[in-house]
Amino acid sequence: MTTTNTQIGLVGFLCEVTEEPVTFQECLACAQRGAPGCPMVPAIIHDIASSVRSPEYANELAIKAGAEVGFSATELLGCPRQYRLKKQHPYWEKPSGMYRMTFGSGYHAALSTYQGGIPEQTLTWKFKLLGMSVLLVGTPDLVELRPGGWYITDYKVTGNPPFGRKVPICNACDLEMYKGDDGLTCPNCGPLNARSSAISRVYRPAQARSSHVEQVNLYALLIEKNVAMLAKKYNLSGLALEKFCGGQIAYLSQKGVVRCDVQLDRAAASALLKTRLRVLLSEDLPPIIDDTDELWRCDYCAVRTHCEQLHASPVGKPDKEIPE
């Protein structure tokens, strides 16, 4: 099988069986011939290959809008080092790794036919930062204008939705306790006996994941900047146009739906936007992820080899687990 290395970005698949790079066409032809030992079928290979979005999607919109550079909300919230490396190197992904995303897109497409609000409206906002003209791009799954203001819904198709659980709380501080080296520990009072009457257990409903909360908050900024356009396009009016009444993530699994409320925090969203853009716009290669909650990204990263080569040592969870 032959591949070319002169392009950058996603140039083909990594074969499920041989782990060798193959072009999309080679993979499809192989699936059509029966692909022994491979779980893929031709229609899935075709669907995945044909739904790959241009890596320059946000930049193309930026150029049309007269901005120098564009970022989607998703790009802004991912690993900035990965974003940069994907623009510099060719890379390949296993079809099985992309299957989940394509599967999710199919359900999103079905839900977007609901007309009870504004489904999948692409919103943009052009502004200046660090002397550059930047375009932020985002497409919330559903935006509704309710009597109290805008309400944002985003769907996440997942096999692993968040769930509610009972958590230990320190009665004195009203803070959630964690498992420390010396057992249950309050961030203020330190370790406490697990049977102590100073601890109660309360039910904590399922919580939206932090990057999903951040995404909805970026969408709120985009809506704020596009109120006039939305009012005109969808024939909306009234005082509610100037307000927000909340948001939610609906986690959709095969077993059911888990809805999680999202608190909107405009100041935090603005600060996040500036912090992320500073890293993305910097000439320096962004650093590796060091936030433990985000290390999972390295396990699915298509440019991990490049990342590790440049870092000159392993990254992601194994890096953290190596004893000193």
| Residues contributing to the site for ligand SF4 (CB under 6 A) | 13, 15-17, 22, 27, 30-31, 35, 38, 40, 79, 81-82, 85, 95, 288-289, 297-298, 301, 303-304, 307, 315-316
Nearer to ligand SF4, 163 or 296 (CB): 296
The least CB distance from residue 239 to ligand SF4, in Å, is 44
- Smallest gap from Cβ 292 to ligand SF4, in A, equals 13
236 φ, ψ (degrees, to nearest 5): -110, 150
Q: Determine whether 283 is exposed, middle or buried from the number of CB atoms within 10 Å of its CB (0-12, 13-18, 19+).
A: exposed
**95 or 161: whose CB is closer to ligand SF4?**
95
Between 156 and 304, CB nearer to ligand SF4: 304
Q: How far is the CB of 220 from ligand SF4 (least distance, A)?
A: 26
* In the complex, least distance from residue 48 CB atom to ligand SF4, rounded to whole angstroms: 10
- Could you tell me the CA-to-CA distances from 49 to 10, 39, 123, 276 in Å, in that order? 10, 16, 26, 30
Taking phi over 0 as left and psi of -120 to 50 as alpha, with beta for the rest, 19 belongs to left
* Cβ-based nearer residue to ligand SF4, 11 or 30: 30
CB of 74 to ligand SF4, least distance (A): 14
> What size, in residues, is the chain?
324
- Residue closer to ligand SF4 by CB (options 35, 152) is 35
Give dist(CA 22, CA 15) in Å, integer: 6
Q: Could you give the CA distance from residue 268 to residue 280 in angstroms, rounded to a whole number?
A: 18
- What's the closest the beta carbon of residue 106 comes to ligand SF4, in angstroms? 20
Question: What token pair was written down for 134?
Answer: 């930047």
Nearer to ligand SF4, 95 or 140 (CB): 95
CA distance 216 to 165: 24
